[in-house]
């Protein structure tokens, strides 16, 4: 059903580590693929933001039966996984779940997690790792549910006046005072909302369709697999310029 997962549109020049990440769109087809022994990897971005002292996004592809590396933990970073294509088994703190396209998993610091391709085709997924500028509060994360895995097919679809919406999560974590994630399916020819700003930083990940992103005083086109980074308080909106519905993830944090 889904073919791609995220939106960040920026020139390929910026698809590398920088001190402060610029707003814009990272195009999937422009990202360089590095082939390693156990995986193929596309580095999307790495740097800092207003809220985060370190923020990295990359995509990994693995063949059937393969894992990118052994299970591991992070001392002071959270990790968010978004499945782009294929079937993977994700294990966090001894609990396993098989997840397909559109599904997400989140691991809090110090909990062991790993991933393996359990399907018959290549699997691709996005990894978002980040560390807050505020002190880590692990107990806050545990009190609000800790690590989790959410299967795309189990998320309730809610009709809206512009299309439909899936609510994934909205809560504080060990690193963030707010962690909110949802998808929007936007009808043909419509805009997501009037141009606006908010304190939260945001990632948009395009799942299907073609859109125009207005970011600050610039305009970008974006399609499936592209990722958009929106810093705090930047003016933005999205317009569906393709045929039929477009669909995208929105991940906001502060």
In a domain, 128, yes or no: yes
In a domain, 196, yes or no: no
End-to-end CA separation in angstroms for the chain: 31
Give the residue among 85, 66, 68 at the shortest CA–CA distance from 6: 85
> How many Cβ atoms from other residues are within 10 Å of residue 212's Cβ?
16
Q: What is the mean pLDDT of each run of 10 residues along the chain (254 residues)?
A: 38 46 96 95 97 97 97 98 98 98 98 98 98 97 97 98 98 97 98 95 98 97 98 97 97 96
Could you identify the residue written with the tokens 């397909």?
100
In a domain, 110, yes or no: yes
In a domain, 71, yes or no: yes
Give the residue among 166, 171, 164, 144 at the shortest CA–CA distance from 154: 166
Q: What is the pLDDT of residue 183?
A: 98
Q: What is the pLDDT of residue 163?
A: 98
CATH assignment at residue 97 = 2.60.120.10
How far is residue 149's CA from residue 130's CA, in Å, rounded to a whole number? 18
Looking only at the bridges linking them, the beta strands covering 246-253 and 201-208 are antiparallel
Q: What is the pLDDT of residue 157?
A: 98
Residue 155, C-beta contacts closer than 8 angstroms, at least 6 positions apart: 166, 167, 168, 183
In a domain, 116, yes or no: yes
Q: What is the pLDDT of residue 13?
A: 33
In a domain, 56, yes or no: yes
Number of domains making up the chain: 1
Helix (H) or strand (E) holding 21: none
Domain that holds residue 78: 32-135+144-152
In a domain, 92, yes or no: yes
Grouping H, G, I as helix, E, B as strand and the rest as coil, residue 72 is: strand
In a domain, 59, yes or no: yes
């Amino acid at each position: 059903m889904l073919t791609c997962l995220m939106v960040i549109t920026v020139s390929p020049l910026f698809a590398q580590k920088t001190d402060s990440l610029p707003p814009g769109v990272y195009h999937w087809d422009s990202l360089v693929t590095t082939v390693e022994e156990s995986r193929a990897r596309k580095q999307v971005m790495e740097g800092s933001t207003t809220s985060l002292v370190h923020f990295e996004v990359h995509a990994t592809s693995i063949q059937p039966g393969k894992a990118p590396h052994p299970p591991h933990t992070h001392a002071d970073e959270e990790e968010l996984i978004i499945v782009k294509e294929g079937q993977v088994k994700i294990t966090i703190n001894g609990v396993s779940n098989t997840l397909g396209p559109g599904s997400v998993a989140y691991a809090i610091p110090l909990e062991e997690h790993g991933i393996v391709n359990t399907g018959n085709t290549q699997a691709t997924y996005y990894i978002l790792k980040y560390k807050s500028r505020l002190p880590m509060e692990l107990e806050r994360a545990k009190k609000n549910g800790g690590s989790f895995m959410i299967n795309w097919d189990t998320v309730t679809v809610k009709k809206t006046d512009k299309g439909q919406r899936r609510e994934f999560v909205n809560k504080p974590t060990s690193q963030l005072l707010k962690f909110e994630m949802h998808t929007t399916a936007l009808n043909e020819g419509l805009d997501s909302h009037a141009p606006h700003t908010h304190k939260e930083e945001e990632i948009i990940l395009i799942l299907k369709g073609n859109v125009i992103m207005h970011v600050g005083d610039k305009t970008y086109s974006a399609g499936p697999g592209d990722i958009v980074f929106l810093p705090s308080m930047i003016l933005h909106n999205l317009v569906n310029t393709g045929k039929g519905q477009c669909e995208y993830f929105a991940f906001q944090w502060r």
